[in-house]
Chains A and B, each alone.
Chain A
Amino acid sequence: MSSRLRHVCWGKVGLVTIVVLYILWSLAPVAIAFLFSFNAGYSRSTWQGFSLQWWTGSKSVFNLPIYTDAIRHSMLLAVLSVAITVPLGVSLSIFLSRWRGITARPASFLATVPLVVPELVLALALFFLVTKVNLPIVTLGTSGQVVGQVTFILPLVIVITIGRLSSIPTGYEEAAQDLGASPPQSFRLVLVPLLQPAILASAIVAFAVSIDDFVITQYMSSTSSTQSVPMLIYTATRGGATPALNAMATIMAVTTILIAAIGFVLYRLLARREQIADAPAPALAVTPEGAR
């Protein structure tokens, strides 16, 4: 074996090591949290034997209203956020990418501003807006939390969708119109089907970010009925939480990972079906931070 070849091999080994270490590092806390949900004692740091008491029975995660309410509220916020951000973000993206006016560039830039503004700043601003200005409909509580999450998630949807749109030549829409489809018809019959992978990816990212969101959801909350899972985890860790909290965190992590996995498989299927000009798959960077 020549020294040059050996050098290449060592580089490969090094890269593999780094990747494996990274995966271990990012999954280990989740695994530990998961493990301690089976602890026989009340401790979340000392192993006292195996038990299913935090998963079934009177002390379990499914029997404490404070936990079940938080899970239900998190799911509600996630579903609402996805339902609003995806159609809104896709429409905005199409408008921004297919619109050739002189304000198109500044508008694209402004649409992604919430992406770079620190979440805490955005949350504070929204909090003041909602409390100092009497907005109709939007108040602290569920409506405020949804509006806050939508503001935060929308730019992500736009970035994903515009990336996909830029790989779809305008020729498809022109071909549709050439064949007698009105502009709305060419949108519905051609562009939306071609955008399916981006729509799916957006929905997954929106769901994961919403489930995971703490800062905005916390600031826009009102009573304990609007407490989400991350909020509960945050407050509970300071008080005397039982391993049922670990069970809840596990549930959220598994849900997010499952949805991301299903979405990823669907995305691959959709993308393979079409194969438009080597459209790059948007990175589905979904980390199960709900389990921290």
Chain B
Amino acid sequence: MAGGHIQITDLSKVFGDVPAVNHIDLEMVSGEFFSMLGPSGCGKTTTLRMIAGFEDPDSGQILLDGVDIRRTPPHKRPVNTVFQAYMIFPHLNVYENVAFGLRRQRVGKDELRRRVGAALELVQLGELAKRKPQQLSGGQQQRVALARALILEPAVLLLDEPLGALDAKLRHQLQDELKTLQETVGITFVYVTHDQEEALTMSDRIAVMSHGSVEQIGTPREVYDEPATEFVADFLGVSNLLSAGAVSGGAGECLLQVGEFTLTARGGDTAARGQVKCVVRPERVNLKPADAPGPNRLPGTVERLVYLGSAIRAIVRLATGQTLQSLIPSDGRPVAFEQGSAVQVELPADALRVLTGGGRAVTPHAEDVLSDQLEGAADA
């Protein structure tokens, strides 16, 4: 089924005098897995609820396949929701929960039985049809919620932190299942989460949100590797931020002054000058012996070593007073450094990204991405 294309323009919602959603523009392309990622209070759930019809926008437009759905009540919108707490009807068994939507459409007896059966098979709950919701585990309830929504063949499926209530192991398993399911049914998924890992592993594209605004939109790789703002860098993993003075540089390069040392950065807004912030992923930060200074290296002291299982996190205090984190893969070899030892911190030029405007504003790059996508959609 083609369709399921959502175009949000200038959408706003204020609760009391708190702006929950602040003039945002978003586009979800037909059939994509789109995530809205941000901390609580960033406006992601409010945006989702406005698409579902449970909140009335103060301004702006929501087009679903070209049709303005703002005046359509929730029960007439061709979208379905998987709620955060699932909201499985406690007085109905699994079968009746899944059949609820079809019964409202008054489909025939045989079709009802066939489609409920198929929906239960899709989420592997066939043998639990007669169970009451209280007899289900969290993961099973989540599947009932999915089957109940998908059975109506919506143009768009809205998911409000559907894995939030589950334990870590189950969450990982269901992430894979959800992604596979989305590829099977091929409808647009709009997924709200505060878990960056969830968003990164499942999404085709992610909108990182903060304080009712969109900070950056891009593929998981783009928002992770090329964060446009300090907030995005911080929210998607560890914020390894470095304050520096951008002094000069050639094409696609920028020379950074950190104390008495000079670094070269080849990522981000290399045209920026003056006081800037740079970001570097912890896994790109290399620790070298203290007696091996070199280009793009800063001296520091290992302040703390934290064992994470698959890696070891080293927190290094630089001579300038700032701290940086380095992820050392645990490959069985003993770590060459211990707490308190002096090291050289290597920051590869390719891994150093300069953030614009102190890291707050959206970079031209992100706007390029957005307008490219908008044009691409208009062409389609």
Contact = CB atoms under 8 A, between A and B. Distances in A.
Interface string B122-156: 00000000001010000000000000110010000
Contact of B89 (A175, A182, A275): A175
Chain A interface mostly = helix
Interface stretch (B5-13, B72-80, B343-351): B72-80
B50 to A, nearest CB: 13
Nearest to B154: A178
Interface stretch (A59-67, A118-126, A166-174): A166-174
Contacts of B80: 178-179
Contacts of B104: 179-181, 185
B74 A177 contact: yes
Contacts of A275: 90, 134
Given A174-B54, A185-B104, A179 B152 contact: yes
Interface residues of B, number: 24
A96 to B, nearest CB: 21
Contacts of B87: 169, 171-172, 174-175
A174 to B, nearest CB: 6
B83 interface: yes
A11 interface: no
Contacts of A18: none
Contacts of A190: 89
B354 interface: no
B105 interface: yes
Given A171-B83, A171-B85, A275-B134, A178 B91 contact: no
A233 interface: no
B91 A274 contact: yes
Given A174-B54, A274-B90, A179 B83 contact: no
A177 B79 CA distance: 11
A194 B152 contact: no
B192 interface: no
A176 interface: yes
B149 to A, nearest CB: 8
Nearest to B76: A180
Nearest to A274: B90
Contacts of A179: 75, 80, 100-101, 104, 148-149, 152
Nearest to B92: A193
Nearest to A196: B91
**Which of B76, B90, B149 has most chain A Cβ within 10 Å?**
B90
Given A175-B81, A177-B73, 10 more contacts: A171-B85, A172-B89, A174-B54, A175-B87, A178-B149, A179-B75, A179-B104, A190-B89, A196-B91, A275-B90
Interface of A: 169, 171-172, 174-183, 185-186, 189-190, 193-194, 196, 273-276
**A-B interface, 7 closest residue pairs, ranked by CB to CB distance from nearest:** A179-B101, A180-B104, A175-B87, A171-B87, A193-B91, A177-B75, A274-B90
